[in-house]
Homo-oligomer: A and B are copies of this chain.
Amino acid sequence: MARPSLHTAVLDSVGRAITSGDAPPGTPLTLDGIGAQHGVSRTVAREVMRMLEGLGMVRSRRRVGLVVLGIEDWNVLDPRIIRWRLQGPGRDAQLRSLTELRHAVEPLAAAGAARHAGPQVRGELLDLARRMRSTGEAGDLTEFLALDVRMHELLLRSSGNEMFGPLADVVAEVLAGRTHLGLMPASPVPEALDQHEAVARAVADGDPDAAEAAMAAIVGEVRHALARRDGERVGS
């Protein structure tokens, strides 16, 4: 999948430098500078710069070079920017933003899946819910995470809205980040298992309203948990 192209390496390096705040807005870059710093020719630097420009991260001005733009100009929905921000200092804020976005989209995606999903998807959802229960009760967190990710991905991709599909990757990232950060209980709470099963059943039964409600319950709990954490943080 990842081709060993010079561009990708340089692009990742510069992109991370920008998202990490290492190159704050207003910083002037030059093609020669990028080329020299990474040991690539001007051509490669130019093409990397074009990609960064396409991401809204730099703006090329003559005589001055490539000025780094602020986050308000970035394509913050782009997977690459999301990935870069998830590494580095912005990880926390990015995770919170993604969580909120996820909570906005997933109930509607579940409703859409209840309308549009094919029979084999509905079957897999039921199977996933079953396996989530068994692995969850067994306390196998990593396997549980994989099933959880798969279920949300399946819902987003079969929601009938092609703009929801790309969010599956960020949901996976959020879920992984959440367990990795120790935000998950040692063993999934029974309510979560019930609600995931409810979503799967509602989608399998083709009941959009029930699917939306069940998914809203899932994300609503996480939301409140996050708000609680925010409250603690604010209070400290």
Q: Which of chain A's residues 22-63 have a Cβ closer than 8 Å to chain B?
A: 43, 46-47, 50-51, 54-55
Chain A count of residues within 8 A CB distance of the other chain: 32
Contact B47 A163 (CB under 8 A): no
One of B77, B79, B100, B165 near A72 (C-beta < 8 A): B165
Residues in chain B near residue A51, CB distance under 8 A = 50-51, 54
The stretch of A104-112, A124-132, A141-149 in contact with B is A104-112
Does A172 make an interface contact (CB < 8 A)?
A: no
Contact A77 B166 (CB under 8 A): yes
One of B46, B72, B107, B161 near A162 (C-beta < 8 A): B72
Does A97 make an interface contact (CB < 8 A)?
A: yes
Residues in chain B near residue A79, CB distance under 8 A = 75
Closest chain-B Cβ to A121's Cβ sits at a distance in Å of 15
Residues in chain B near residue A72, CB distance under 8 A = 162, 165
Residues in chain B near residue A16, CB distance under 8 A = none
Contact A163 B54 (CB under 8 A): no
Contact A163 B101 (CB under 8 A): yes
Q: Could you write out 21 A-B pairs with CB less than 8 Å apart?
A: A7-B50, A47-B47, A50-B50, A54-B54, A54-B55, A54-B80, A71-B162, A75-B77, A75-B166, A76-B163, A77-B78, A77-B166, A78-B78, A97-B162, A100-B112, A101-B105, A101-B161, A101-B163, A103-B108, A104-B107, A105-B105
**Extra pairs beyond A50-B51, A100-B161, A101-B105 (9, CB < 8 Å):** A47-B47, A76-B162, A76-B166, A77-B78, A77-B163, A78-B78, A100-B108, A104-B108, A105-B105
